[in-house]
Amino acid sequence: MRRSIFVTCAIVAAGAVLLSGAQKRNAAPSDLLSGIPSGKTRVVDMTYAINDKLPAWPGDDRTFEAKVNATPEKDGYFTRSFWMLEHYGTHMDAPAHFPPGKLFLDQIPVDHFFGPAAVIDVRDDVAKDADYRLTAVRVEKWEALHGRVPPGAIVVLRTGWSSRWPDQARYRNMDANSVMHFPGYFVAAAKLLMSRGVVALGIDTLSIDYGASKDFEVHRTDLPAGLYNLENLANVDQLPEAGAFLIAAPIKLEGGSGGAVRVFAILPNK
């Protein structure tokens, strides 16, 4: 499921946003975007920097490597090559990650990368149960407070698990039987959110399926339906439950089952 990639040059991800597609699905107000240079709009980086010390999926022992190709002292400039797993650090799962999902990373419609954030805070529940899974009832509770989850939304589950990052042992939370314990989604909650027309499910853990899952049933539900997943999100605690707008810009990796993604939240700066 995790196919490695080799990249022989440094990659710079730059997003050029055409809002025409996003405007059809609750686009960010124009004043929110125009307020970024002046500081009226706050931008939250929800992405961990990539290096070789990040918590990885068990069994993924070789995760990231970087090699210096040229130095200022020798060549007058600096470049590196790097190698990494597709599913490492803050990353996006493409639908093709779990067949019969068909879209590879480079084939996901670009307007799905922009949408209002629906942040569901379950930190109190997770503090009591590391194996907590989001229920449909909890989604409905969020809607009672903030209104129906809008079509085109990017849902983010705030579990508080990022407080364990980057301690791999605590982040995996593996027991004596090598079973991981961290929170995720129930299939029923995923299906309810899918019925609302959301484009993605996100979380601040290793997986949208809870750690003890053996069959990745949520992956097998949302990815074949054309959604994508955002995993290992950072700084989720800085977002309101409603009112932020997300931009998720993945590496455009042809044929990728997933890949590194830069995720930004924009919201009024209070």
7 has a pLDDT exceeding 50: no
Per the annotation, the verdict on 219 as an active-site residue is no
Mean pLDDT, the chain, rounded, equals 91
Task: Exactly one of 97, 146, 181, 219 is catalytic; name it.
Answer: 97
Domains of the chain listed by start with CATH number: 17-61+87-268 (3.50.30.50)
Q: What is the mean pLDDT of residues 83-109?
A: 98
Res. 183: pLDDT tops 60: yes
Measured distance CA(119)–CA(135) in Å, rounded: 14
pLDDT in tens, 44-78: 999 999 999 999 999 998 999 999 999 999 999 99
Instruction: Give per-residue pLDDT as tens, 113-128.
Output: 999 999 999 999 999 9
Q: Which tens digits make up the pLDDT trace of 212-231?
A: 999 999 999 999 999 999 99
Can you give the pLDDT at residue 29? Answer: 54
Grade residue 30 by pLDDT with cuts at 50, 70 and 90. low
* Predicted local distance difference test score (pLDDT) of residue 32: 84
